[in-house]
Structure 1
Amino acid sequence: MSRRVVRQSKFRHVFGQAAKADQAYEDIRVSKVTWDSSFCAVNPKFLAIIVEAGGGGAFIVLPLAKTGRVDKNYPLVTGHTAPILDIDWCPHNDNVIASASDDTTIMVWQIPDYTPVRNITEPIITLEGHSKRVGILSWHPTARNVLLSAGGDNVIIIWNVGTGEVLLSLDDMHPDIIHSVCWNNNGSLLATTCKDKTLRIIDPRKGQVVANNFEEPVALQEMDTSNGVLLPFYDPDSSIVYLCGKGDSSIRYFEITDEPPYVHYLNTFSSKEPQRGMGFMPKRGLDVSKCEIARFYKLHERKCEPIVMTVPRKSDLFQDDLYPDTPGPEPALEADEWLSGQDAEPVLISLKDGYVPPKHRELRVTKRNILDVRPPSGPRRSQSASDAPLSQHTLETLLEEIKALRERVQAQEERITALENMLCELVDGTD
């Protein structure tokens, strides 16, 4: 009599559990825009959710610890003139988030550690380059200040947020709407899906599709789900992929292995209400003392509910096999290094003693000085001898005034930073 061999895996018994009612975020008017993004982004400091807003687009940013009912007058991040379609936290600065909108722009925001008194309305920088709505954002995993955007114009633009410049524009690779874009582990390649039902692997710096037409899948899994899109989340540390159906009420998860059949179904977490979006916490934001290997933030119509995935273990000791070193908040490359052809794996950190997010770090944008750019050559207005000294005098006056204004702005910025640091210390002292 043959005995069926059960596949060995430490993730076979991973189970999901919704947070208690007092750990959810209540009274949030989640956006009703019909768009296929996750509407939610989370990091070890903050939870950001795209919300309903009259006369433009807005999202709310809550400190993770601020659970319970959210005040209806809680400050929002506003500035877009049309609905926001996607948001994404910078992986190298937990206080920086980008938003993409139907108004064709991308805005990058600095979120303070303290709760602002009024709406945040001034982005650090606005990126303009798309001719139609911008629906997809993705930060580069290892290079500082590199941000990807994809729009309804079927164009992918890669920006240097630190200067506001376009690094690369991929405008002839997709004949139709781009549905999703993601980087590989070191940011050397992109994977895209398109309305033409083609998966492309792209080398963005060469501007080439390097793989296409995947005719035979290595594994095929039939999904009993609603008509909504599937939001996939992959954890390379555990080789688990989680599939969350938008409009569905389940999270299905699978382990990926190197040997056939490659994809192994683990389990399904189900709840009563369908999800309108989903946030996925980076590994450094998890509670390692509870053997938590994933945490989702499920959006309902008016609330956000954390869902924790746990591996059952009896020991209270740190579980090395569950938590290999994982990407930390330090970039491995500068933007110009990546553009020149360099690649680098993520800078890893150990989670053995838990992860403490660093203090507020400012993103400084340095745009090229227009005074450094030579004026275009061409015919000029003729000047009389008496005009010349006057023009020279006017130019010197303008330059002096610009210099004085710059010094004043610098002083004000330093004063604001000092006040913010004092406020952070006061807040930390009252926690």
Structure 2
Amino acid sequence: MSGKFVRASKYRHVYGQVAKKERQYENIRVTNNAWDSNLIQANSKFLAVNWNSSGGGAFAVIPLDEVGKAPDQVPLFRGHTAHVLDTDFNPFDDYCIASGSDDGKIGIWEIPKDYSFHNYTSADGEPKDLEPKKFLQGHGRKVGHVLFHPTAQNVLASSSLDYTVKIWDISTGKELFNLKHPDMVTSMSFSYNGNHLVTVSRDKKLRVWDIRAGKIVSEGPAHTGAKNQRVVWLGNSDRIATTGFSKLSDRQVGIWDAFNLEKGDLGGFYTLDQSSGIVMPFYDDSNKILYLVGKGDGNIRYFEFQNDELFELSEFQSVDPQRGFAAAPRRAVSVKNNEILKGFKTVNDHCIEPISFHVPRKADSFQDDIYPDAPSHIAALSAEEWASGKSTEGPLLFNMKSLFDGSEPMLVPSSAGNSEPVPPATTPSAPAAEEPSASEKGDVGQKEESTPQSTEKTLTRPPSPVTIPKPSAPKTSKENGSSTAIDETLKEDKTVNGLLMRASQLDKDNDAEDPSKDVSTWDEGEDNVPPAELPPPVSSASRVEESKLVPAKTEKSKTIPQEAVPATQTPTPEATPSQTKIKTSTSSPATRLEEKVEEFTTTTSDSNVSDSTVAPTAKTMGLKQSVETLSGLVLQLSQVVDDLKRASLEKDTRLKAVEDKLAQLVGK
């Protein structure tokens, strides 16, 4: 064994799968504008695409179920006088979408209930273009990014080349707050409860804002490279992740304490590669997975975030590069197929491929450990409540099991393990669903039970010393043809009773913990270690690593397991119990015990002399002599068992010390 510890996670074998050709969106004309945005956005019903059109800016909205080749003439959302640079769906209204444009305006659009990408036409059969419900005006230059608030209804953030981020109430068109920056904002992200906003600017600085106070609560330098950077808040935590470049043009990922940006990144930057494309980050708070999508390449990396570290899971590879990518909300995934993320990528600016990320399991029941409660489509606060200073601890959640059962979504109070909000008094809520524990979630130490090829292993606490229960009085029965003298002798000799009970106990232990069926190792983290497999204690001068100790093998056909090396001897690590002699004996007590039992059985069964011709006294004397021999062997076996118990206690102490040392090293 190598002794290498492999980090276990139920998401280690998550894989991405591209939809079949007939489920893709073809004949799509993605804009050729060079502005840095995601180009496409998605919710549970629609897909928005920045469209390459003439006569001013436009974007298209595609219902998710209208797959296949798009018509040459399609309905477009027109109204901007310059290129549409970014769009975002309202998380609390699937039919509401906002757009930012090069003309400095923000468009608020309403998607008709009868809208169809293929068949939304006028009376003469021509596609009908749609107009905005309203425009929000206030920025002096182009609006590069728009982003809806995660908890408050109708609250929108927009960034512009006028170096400001404005917060709007789109229902009234009123500007609520204005956050001034020294340079252009290249990316922004709301905190989980929506009280703070993190921005990264072209001046290579990160800033965390208290939005309603209009002030910076934390500020610090970000990546040193010249290209644009991206930032995302890591769900229900005070950590943020950034993607950017080093001075040597290495693509990097950094983790930061949102309220201590001055201290720098946590643990150093993670270097991805030396590609030139910007990396788009997407974070799934339900599964604590960060997806990194590179512009200009076809790869999608994903990492599990835990204890301020990113652990690489796997990578989706494709020869088709993407310029844009969108992740649908949690309520859009296919729960019955163990899908944890539904994404969409552009391919060569004329096709959009759906990509599903799955946890490989074979189960017909709801997998509650990978589907904790997720943000719902109901807002926790109104725009007026939030602007006046009212706060919530996060979005209202719903039970994901409703997607599996096909029932109505049930709102639940948030729990500390995933999200923390308590619904307002005006919002009905159901009793909280029981949240899986940390071990059930697989943060540390859980295997993927449905994946045979999984190599996940964990270090578990060593087993407690094995104790053999004190035998009770045995039950004897008369064999056919046995004499009264033999029965009386068996009743009077207590050593026979002890032998039978110990043999019975060892037989049970051997059946329950047969090493030939399940070999226990550290990497596999098994808790049940048979007494006969515990290695002997070694001196400090010749101590070897516990992870390399080879457990003794026991033959499956034996009723009583082979004897292990006693604690009084110190053999080399390569020696096995079957090769080690005890004192001057040529075989182990267990082997001699079996030979005596076999000899006694053969003698009594093969005898040609009938019971009636042999005197009871001679038969009794022969049996008593055999019993005395067996008694001596039992005493030796008992001593070996006691030695094994002591060895187990000593090993338990050593393993506990190693475990404490590992805990101290991890704590540092």
> TM-score scaled to structure 1, two decimals?
0.80
Count of aligned pairs between the two proteins: 354
Displacement of 1:175 in angstroms is 1.1
Displacement of 1:226 in angstroms is 2.3
The answer for the alignment partner of 2:346 in structure 1 is 299
Displacement of 1:2 in angstroms is 5.6
The question of whether the paired residues in 1 share the 8 Å contact of 2:345 and 2:354 is answered with yes
* SS of aligned partner of 2:314: strand
The question of whether the paired residues in 2 share the 8 Å contact of 1:201 and 1:210 is answered with yes
Query: Aligned AA for 1:145?
Result: N
Query: Aligned AA for 2:86?
Result: D
Alignment match of 2:386 (pick from 338, 346, 361): 338
* Structure 1 spans left out of the alignment, 5+ residues: 359-431
Confirm whether residue 189 of structure 1 aligns to residue 237 of structure 2: no
Displacement of 1:357 in angstroms is 12
The answer for the alignment partner of 2:373 in structure 1 is 325
Deviations 1:257-290 (A, max 9, x none): 026xx11111111111110100111010000000
Aligned equivalents of 1:123, 1:175: Cα separation in 2: 32
Q: CA RMSD in A?
A: 1.6
Alignment of 1:23-422 (within 5 A): 23-114=23-114, 115=116, 116-117=120-121, 118-171=127-180, 174-213=181-220, 214=261, 215-219=263-267, 220-258=269-307, 262-300=309-347, 301-344=349-392, 345-354=394-403
Aligned equivalents of 1:69, 1:357: Cα separation in 2: 33
Displacement of 1:137 in angstroms is 0.5
Query: Aligned AA for 1:162?
Result: S
Q: Who wins on radius of gyration, i.e. which is larger?
A: 2
The question of whether the paired residues in 2 share the 8 Å contact of 1:78 and 1:121 is answered with yes
The answer for the alignment partner of 1:365 in structure 2 is none
Aligned equivalents of 1:185, 1:306: Cα separation in 2: 27
The question of whether the paired residues in 2 share the 8 Å contact of 1:225 and 1:248 is answered with no
Displacement of 1:140 in angstroms is 0.4
Query: Aligned AA for 1:189?
Result: H
Deviations 1:208-250 (A, max 9, x none): 1111113532142101152121110001111111010111211
Aligned equivalents of 1:41, 1:233: Cα separation in 2: 12
The question of whether the paired residues in 1 share the 8 Å contact of 2:105 and 2:136 is answered with yes
Displacement of 1:120 in angstroms is 3.4
The question of whether the paired residues in 1 share the 8 Å contact of 2:75 and 2:130 is answered with no
More helix by share: 2
* Structure 2 spans left out of the alignment, 5+ residues: 122-126, 221-260, 409-668
* SS of aligned partner of 2:384: helix
Runs of 4+ in 1 over 3 A off after TM superposition: 118-121, 355-358
The question of whether the paired residues in 1 share the 8 Å contact of 2:18 and 2:354 is answered with yes
Deviations 1:61-110 (A, max 9, x none): 11101000001112111110000000000000000000100000000100
* SS of aligned partner of 1:354: helix
* Identical-pair percentage: 43
Query: Aligned AA for 2:321?
Result: P
The question of whether the paired residues in 2 share the 8 Å contact of 1:78 and 1:119 is answered with no
More strand by share: 1
Displacement of 1:303 in angstroms is 0.6
Aligned equivalents of 1:93, 1:225: Cα separation in 2: 40
Deviations 1:331-357 (A, max 9, x none): 000111111111112111112131889
Aligned equivalents of 1:26, 1:18: Cα separation in 2: 14
* SS of aligned partner of 1:192: strand
Deviations 1:350-395 (A, max 9, x none): 121318899xxxxxxxxxxxxxxxxxxxxxxxxxxxxxxxxxxxxx
Structure of greater relative contact order (alpha carbons < 8 Å, 6+ residues apart): 1
Aligned equivalents of 1:357, 1:142: Cα separation in 2: 24
The answer for the alignment partner of 1:423 in structure 2 is none
Displacement of 1:4 in angstroms is 1.1
108 and 10 in structure 1: CA distance in 2 versus 1, 3 angstrom threshold: same
Deviations 1:97-134 (A, max 9, x none): 00100000000100123223233332111000000000
